[in-house]
């Protein structure tokens, strides 16, 4: 029988108002009898990727499952680009696979949205949800005991029964530095293919080309390569960068011409082995920060948020009782999906850069086999498109 604890100011404090924190706030607002006792704390400080979400250069490939969730929360951005075909290939070796929306009888395999546009919709929905929102200094967890967790935001001290870390901070427990950096930009292709996304594996790292959500005649680039080469490419003028990119990608889209400033991001894998520590739970990038290959980070984070809301459903009307059973259920629910997606993206980011011809050739053959045998292609594609079903 769970023991009762004395009342806290808040039932749940969500630290961080990125896409995962906002999605959780919206899900909980629907389940809680007192949504005002859920507080989302958003830092006004510059984020790692841009001074404001509006300035963040990321575009995100959102899978079918995530789109359904975001639409149900009333937070789907107006402008998005459909992905109907995904072309996966390996530079300089045999093997490619095509994944089409018709293989899965869905109107599209996924969509591309701009990070800033998604945050704008989510923030607006949270403001209207009844959840308390506090903007200000970065929030910090001070300590926790059997009754709850104490936090601070600037001069203010808050007490909450549980705290969800959705601050995007890289967990440091299991960490791999990829020796890769990502170059992000927008290009115009001379032979565009509407609705196609490309993932091309090169010896230096994966190169993704996605339809752009807001410039419909343009494509978004996420080009991962060794840090020295990335830093060199970053110094090139637009014409030279365009040429290097076209050479790395090959001729499938004709020539690629850069349309905006190129941004540079370091890449690492960090995973928190246990996402729950007492009354503090980590979700989204705060629980696992993945390589961007195959665009899985946000999709996985949204599944964290959905599972946590389900696990807390029965606790929300009785928040004076201790939450450990609900949190154990959350850990149990999330473990297979977290492990599989983390290992899959880690493997994909490294297998073609091993420098071992036999491994790279085998990986190329695997791509070819997947193309020829739909039964091999389906499980991988289904996981990447929809994630593990709960
Ligand atoms: C180059 C690149 C491409 C990517 N492409 C894809 C893709 O195609 N598909 C995909 O699914 N994923 C992709 N990702 C991953 C995706 O961007 C992240 O997984 C996702 O943004 C994580 O969301 P989050 O809410 O957990 O964290 P964040 O987006 O980092 O948001 C955290 C928020 O918390 C705030 N915050 C931080 N600290 C505090 C604090 N102490 N107090 C209060 N607030 C705080 C921050 O300001 C921020 O607003 C990509 C990532 C990169 C780098």
Say yes or no: do domains 10-52+116-173+270-345 and 81-112+177-267+355-386 share a fold: no
Predicted local confidence at residue 187, as pLDDT: 97
Atom of ligand 1 nearest to the CA of 153: 42
With CA atoms as reference, report the closest residue to 182 among 225, 219, 212, 220.
225
- Assess if CATH 3.30.9.10 describes domain 81-112+177-267+355-386: yes
Per residue in 10-69, pLDDT (tens digit) is 999 999 999 999 999 999 999 999 999 999 999 987 566 665 666 788 899 999 889 999
Predicted local confidence at residue 205, as pLDDT: 87
Predicted local confidence at residue 203, as pLDDT: 82
- Of 95-99, 157-161, 326-330, the one with minimum mean pLDDT is 95-99
Predicted local confidence at residue 309, as pLDDT: 98
Instruction: Please work out whether the CB of residue 95 comes within 6 Å of at least one atom of ligand 1.
Output: no
Arithmetic mean of pLDDT, 148-163: 95
Instruction: Please work out whether the CB of residue 211 comes within 6 Å of at least one atom of ligand 1.
Output: no
Structure tokens at 381: 């594609």
More confident residue, 371 or 58: 58
Predicted local confidence at residue 125, as pLDDT: 97
Above 70 in pLDDT, residue 351? no
CA of 366 to the centre of ligand 1 (A): 32
| Position 114 confidence tier, pLDDT thresholds 50, 70, 90 | very high
Atom of ligand 1 nearest to the CA of 267: 53
Residue 213 makes CB contacts below 8 A (sequence gap 6+) with: 59, 77, 79, 80, 81, 111, 112, 113, 114, 117
Per residue in 161-191, pLDDT (tens digit) is 999 999 998 777 777 777 889 999 999 999 9
| Position 369 confidence tier, pLDDT thresholds 50, 70, 90 | low
Per residue in 54-74, pLDDT (tens digit) is 678 889 999 988 999 999 999
| Position 390 confidence tier, pLDDT thresholds 50, 70, 90 | very low
**From atom 45 of ligand 1, which residue's Cα is the shortest distance away?**
16
Share of the chain above pLDDT 70, in %: 84
Above 60 in pLDDT, residue 312? yes
| Highest mean pLDDT pick, 294-308, 347-361, 368-382 | 294-308
Structural domain spans, the chain: 10-52+116-173+270-345, 81-112+177-267+355-386
Alpha-carbon span 15 to 137, nearest angstrom: 11
Predicted local confidence at residue 268, as pLDDT: 83
CA of 20 to the centre of ligand 1 (A): 8
Instruction: Please work out whether the CB of residue 170 comes within 6 Å of at least one atom of ligand 1.
Output: no
Per residue in 119-141, pLDDT (tens digit) is 999 999 999 999 999 999 999 99
Instruction: Please work out whether the CB of residue 296 comes within 6 Å of at least one atom of ligand 1.
Output: yes
The beta-strand segments (E) located in 118-275 are 132-136, 139-145, 148-153, 156-165, 174-189, 196-202, 205-211, 219-225, 256-258, 263-271
| Count of beta carbons in the 10 Å neighbourhood of residue 86 | 24
Ligand 1 mutation target, pool 120, 272, 297, most atoms within 8 A of CB: 297
Instruction: Please work out whether the CB of residue 364 comes within 6 Å of at least one atom of ligand 1.
Output: no
- From the options 3.50.50.60, 3.10.150.10, 3.40.50.300, 2.60.120.650, give the CATH code of 10-52+116-173+270-345: 3.50.50.60
Exposure of 347 in the CB half-sphere (CA atoms within 13 A):
9
Predicted local confidence at residue 388, as pLDDT: 46
Predicted local confidence at residue 99, as pLDDT: 84
Atom of ligand 1 nearest to the CA of 140: 41
Atom of ligand 1 nearest to the CA of 286: 26
Above 90 in pLDDT, residue 258? yes
Predicted local confidence at residue 186, as pLDDT: 95
CA of 27 to the centre of ligand 1 (A): 18
Arithmetic mean of pLDDT, 273-298: 92
């Amino acid at each position: 029988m769970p023991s009762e604890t004395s009342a806290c100011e808040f039932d749940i404090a969500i630290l961080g108002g990125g896409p995962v924190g906002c999605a959780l706030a919206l899900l909980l607002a629907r389940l809680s009898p007192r949504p005002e006792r859920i507080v989302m704390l958003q830092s006004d400080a510059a984020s790692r990727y841009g001074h404001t979400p509006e300035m963040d250069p990321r575009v995100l490939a959102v899978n079918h499952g995530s789109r359904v969730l975001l639409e149900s929360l009333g937070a789907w951005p107006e402008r998005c680009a459909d992905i109907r075909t995904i072309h996966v290939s390996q530079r300089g070796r045999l093997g490619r696979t095509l994944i089409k929306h018709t293989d899965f009888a869905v109107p599209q395999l996924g969509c591309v949205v701009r990070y800033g546009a998604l945050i704008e919709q989510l923030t607006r929905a949270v403001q209207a949800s009844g959840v308390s929102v506090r903007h200000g200094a970065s929030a910090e967890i001070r300590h926790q005991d059997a009754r709850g967790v104490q936090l601070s935001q600037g001069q203010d001290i808050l007490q909450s029964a549980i705290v969800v870390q959705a601050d995007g901070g890289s967990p440091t427990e299991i960490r791999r530095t990829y020796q890769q950096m990502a170059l992000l930009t927008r290009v115009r292709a001379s032979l565009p293919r509407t609705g196609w996304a490309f993932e091309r594996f090169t010896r230096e790292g994966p190169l993704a080309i996605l339809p752009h959500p807001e410039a419909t005649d343009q494509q978004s680039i996420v080009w991962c390569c060794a840090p020295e080469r990335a830093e060199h490419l970053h110094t090139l003028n637009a014409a030279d960068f365009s040429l290097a990119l076209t050479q790395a990608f090959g001729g499938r889209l004709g020539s690629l011409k850069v349309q905006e400033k190129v941004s540079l991001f370091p890449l690492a894998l960090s995973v928190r082995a246990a996402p729950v520590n007492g009354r503090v739970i980590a979700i989204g990038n705060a629980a696992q920060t993945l390589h961007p290959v195959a665009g899985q980070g946000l999709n996985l984070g949204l599944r964290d948020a959905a599972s946590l809301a389900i696990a807390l459903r029965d606790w929300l009307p009785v928040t004076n009782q201790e939450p450990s059973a609900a949190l154990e259920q959350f850990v149990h629910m999330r473990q297979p999906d977290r492990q599989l997606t983390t290992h899959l993206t880690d493997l994909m980011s490294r297998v073609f850069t091993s420098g071992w011809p036999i491994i790279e050739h085998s990986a190329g053959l695997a791509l070819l086999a997947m193309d020829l045998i739909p039964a091999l292609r389906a499980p991988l594609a289904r996981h990447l498109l929809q994630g593990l079903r709960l």
